[in-house]
């Protein structure tokens, strides 16, 4: 097969367990993913959530690179609006110095939480000084560039300076994200796991391919694999997804209607629309899912998929991801 598979993990907390158990399951999954042949292992950022245990992907990355050997480890992604671009550059230069050639920096525009956590994360930040997301990303890109002059007390460099800097990715699902990624020379990751609109994906992928002089975007998709189509259907029977479109505010995707209503309340929004969305969910047996991935590869020129598993139960989740990987190895 001519496409790569990578993994995105959110450290879901299963019923009856605490964050420690969820985080150890994340580490175990990273080690299993390496053994199964996945190319990258990325960690998401979510705040003020009792269901997810990963508010800081950088910390988890440092833990995981010390207990894996060759798999690339990254953020999927850092929610840049909350942070100093200089500090993000320092964090990822340090990680890239710890594990040269294995670090990915994925950056997202979303808040990674509801307005309460956003206000807490940005407490004391001067909005006028922060600038737009595009300006923040350009600053981050500049800090990540290798220093062109000798460092002295009168110059500012994001240290340490790694011999092999982190690979840079922009997570998005719009033509604006495609343009921004291409302008900076970053690789685009189309978030189809949050927006399953095929026409939009086709436009964004084509736009990025055009503007980046032939670069191909990665595509994130939700995947569930089981021994039978019926078993896969059962695993996703309760899966829901909602988009909150706010007039004059940041629109977000959330996992439940309750979260959507909480987002509106916490933000004090009055002009909004909550609508159900269909994620790009591929499900079935391993052969059926690979047939769907192959079709996407052929139709849209996708060379790498970032797999997001919505299954929380540990054994079913591990089996789903193992079936996907081992079928791929057998078929190859």
Least confident of 180-189, 268-277, 289-298, 303-312: 268-277
Angle at 107 between CA 150 and CA 44, to 5 degrees: 125
- Collapsing DSSP to helix, strand or coil, 262 comes out as helix
* Residue pair 175/206 in contact by the 8 Å Cβ criterion: no
152: confidence class by pLDDT, cuts 50, 70, 90: low
Residue 331 confidence (pLDDT) above 50: no
Q: Could you report the per-residue pLDDT of 17-72, keeping only the tens digit for each?
A: 999 999 999 999 999 999 999 999 999 999 999 999 999 999 999 999 999 999 99
Q: How far apart are CA 319 and CA 176, in angstroms?
A: 37
Q: How far apart are CA 320 and CA 271, in angstroms?
A: 41
Q: Hey, what are 161's tokens?
A: 């300076």
Q: Could you report the per-residue pLDDT of 165-223, keeping only the tens digit for each?
A: 999 999 999 999 999 999 999 999 999 988 878 999 999 999 999 999 999 999 999 99
Which residue, chain included where needed, has tokens 């690339």?
Answer: 72
- pTM of model > 0.85: yes
Q: How far apart are CA 284 and CA 241, in angstroms?
A: 20
């Amino acid at each position: 097969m001519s496409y790569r598979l990578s993994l995105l993990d959110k450290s879901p907390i299963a019923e009856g367990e605490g964050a420690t158990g969820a985080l150890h399951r994340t580490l175990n999954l990273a080690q299993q993913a390496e053994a199964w042949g996945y190319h990258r292992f990325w960690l998401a950022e979510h705040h003020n959530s009792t269901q997810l245990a990963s508010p800081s992907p950088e910390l988890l990355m440092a833990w995981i690179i010390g207990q894996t050997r060759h798999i690339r480890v990254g953020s999927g992604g850092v929610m840049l609006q909350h942070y100093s671009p200089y500090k993000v550059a320092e964090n990822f230069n340090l990680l890239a110095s710890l594990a040269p050639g294995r670090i990915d920096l994925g950056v997202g525009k979303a808040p990674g939480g509801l307005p309460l956590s956003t206000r807490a994360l940005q407490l004391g930040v001067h909005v006028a000084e922060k600038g737009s997301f595009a300006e923040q990303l350009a600053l981050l890109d500049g800090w990540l560039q290798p220093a062109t002059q000798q460092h002295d007390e009168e110059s500012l460099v994001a240290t340490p300076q790694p011999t092999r800097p982190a690979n840079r990715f922009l997570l998005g699902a719009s033509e604006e994200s495609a343009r921004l990624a291409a302008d900076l020379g970053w690789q685009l990751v189309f978030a189809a796991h949050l927006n399953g609109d095929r026409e939009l994906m086709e436009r964004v992928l084509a736009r990025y391919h055009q503007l980046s002089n032939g670069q191909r975007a990665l595509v994130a998709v939700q995947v569930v694999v089981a021994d039978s189509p019926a078993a896969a259907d059962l695993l996703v029977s309760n899966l829901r997804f909602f988009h909150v479109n706010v007039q004059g505010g940041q629109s977000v995707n959330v996992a439940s209607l309750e979260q959507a209503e909480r987002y509106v309340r916490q933000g004090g929004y009055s002009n909004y629309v909550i609508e159900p969305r269909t994620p790009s969910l591929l499900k079935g047996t391993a052969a059926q899912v690979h047939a769907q991935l192959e079709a996407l590869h052929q139709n849209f020129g996708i060379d790498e998929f970032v797999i997001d598993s919505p299954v929380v139960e540990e054994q079913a989740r591990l089996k789903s991801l193992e079936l996907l990987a081992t079928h791929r190895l057998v078929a190859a």
